[in-house]
Amino acid sequence: MKTPIVGKDVDSWCTRCKLVLAHTIEAVVAGRITRVHCNTCGGQHAYRANAPGEGGAGRVRKAASTEARASTTARDFKALLAGRTLSDARAYSTGERFKVGELISHPAFGLGAVTGERDRIKIEVLFADGPRVLVHGRVA
């Protein structure tokens, strides 16, 4: 393949149209196309040479089995709750701030344990059915 040039056309998977269509190259980094815009719908997105699920020069991931992930999540959840009950949890609210390790009681997801913080406005919480990212500390 020739060195990609900004402004030239290339075929790419469009995330809006859900088809491989003609796109215009917007950015090239280290000789690789990184950003394109669709000539059909005008949407801008990262360059994708192939449709999702098709082979190609993409990353190869090993798929973990659903049962293995579920058992790991359940085991981690039980470990985080060890010796603590619902009475130890604070009610979840987007305006409240939570610390890592704290238990929260969410109206839809139930009891959860805070496992991390992102960008000072989001928290990672592990619930019985799996991890979720929630907003916290939002000023009304």
* 41-55: pLDDT as tens digits: 989 999 998 888 776
Whether residues 13 and 70 share a domain: the answer is no
Dihedral sign, CA of 45, 48, 53, 20? positive
- In-domain check, residue 140: no
For residue 126, CA distances in Å to 57, 78, 95, 113, 116 come to 34, 10, 19, 5, 9
- In-domain check, residue 10: yes
The residue range of the domain holding 3 is 1-61
What is the distance between the alpha carbons of residues 99 and 125, in angstroms, rounded to a whole number?
11
Whole-prediction pTM: 0.50
Q: 46 - beta bridge partners?
A: 35
Q: In this predicted structure, what is the pLDDT of residue 58?
A: 47
Residue 29 has, within 13 A of its CA and on its CB side, a CA count of 5
* 70-128: pLDDT as tens digits: 666 778 888 888 888 888 999 999 999 999 999 999 999 999 999 999 888 899 999 98
- Please spell the DSSP secondary structure of 14-29, one letter per residue: ETTTTEEEEEEEEEEE
Whether residues 79 and 52 share a domain: the answer is no
* Cβ–Cβ < 8 Å for 90, 51: no
Whether residues 6 and 46 share a domain: the answer is yes
